[in-house]
Amino acid sequence: MRISRKLRLLAALVFFFFVLYPNPLVLVRSIEHIRHPAIDPQVVAPLARTLPNDPRLIEQAVLTRIMPYAYDWQSAGVPWYFPTTREALAQGRGDCESRAVVLASILAYKHIPYALRMSFDHIWVDYPGHQATALENSGVQIAVREHGHYVFHWPRDFHLGAEVDAQIANYWTPMPLGRRALLFGGLLAIVFVNGLVSWARRAGAAGRRVNEHRHRLPQGQGDSDI
């Protein structure tokens, strides 16, 4: 049976995808939530009433007390997940997406203007009086969401090496050892199967050449003497 290279590549991609997202709906929901962030002032209402009206103090409370930092591998069991506000509060910890939706929901409840801004590896909430940092500034921004839609542009401050390091730190380093072992095991299996298929093709081609050569010989010359 001949297995095409495209079919083997597709099988490998499907395997890696299901290792990262055993439940594909998690990724589907994340994509929908980033397109339409679930900012929910009513969900945070009891919490928002206990906080001051200064957005800087609200942000400090969210980052330090309400939503301690955790990678998505730790909070959701997948490399990347964009939760709703309700989900983020239920988890009680999360990365920048979780913190952003909670903070934005609190600001919305208090009628404080805000905007969601994104870089290649971070999302944050901008508000009047927000202080720029190395991770949160207009130079690294690739998109801003205002009035219900995103506006994209290429960032002024882009360094490929730094972005690669950030992606490794966010997605590879915190990956559970079991998932890493499964990925490596799958990679070895794919290499083995490819080698086996290639060997079978070469062996089959060699056998066909021998048979064709025998058929071209005059009758009796292709047989061994007894």
**Which pLDDT tens digit goes with each residue over 72-123?**
999 999 999 999 999 999 999 999 999 999 999 999 999 999 999 999 999 9
Tally of domains in the chain:
1
pLDDT at 105: 98
Handedness of CA 146, 151, 156, 161 (dihedral sign): positive
Rg (CA), the chain: 28
Is residue 178 in a domain? no
Q: Are 103 and 122 in contact (CB under 8 A)?
A: no
pLDDT at 202: 73
pLDDT at 100: 98
Is residue 133 in a domain? yes
pLDDT at 85: 97
**Exposure letters 105-131 (e unless 16+ CB within 10 A, then b):** bbbbbbebebebbbbebbbbbbbeebe
Is residue 128 in a domain? yes
Is residue 183 in a domain? no
Which parts of the chain sit beneath pLDDT 50? 224-226
pLDDT at 184: 87
Is residue 78 in a domain? yes
pLDDT at 3: 61
Residue 103 lies in domain: 36-158
pLDDT at 226: 41
Q: List, in order, residues 6 or more apart from 61 with CB less than 8 Å away.
A: 51
Is residue 164 in a domain? no
Is residue 175 in a domain? no
Q: What's the first-to-final CA gap in the chain, in angstroms? A: 37
pLDDT at 187: 80
Is residue 55 in a domain? yes
Cα 139 to chain centroid distance, Å, stands at 23
pTM of the complete model: 0.82
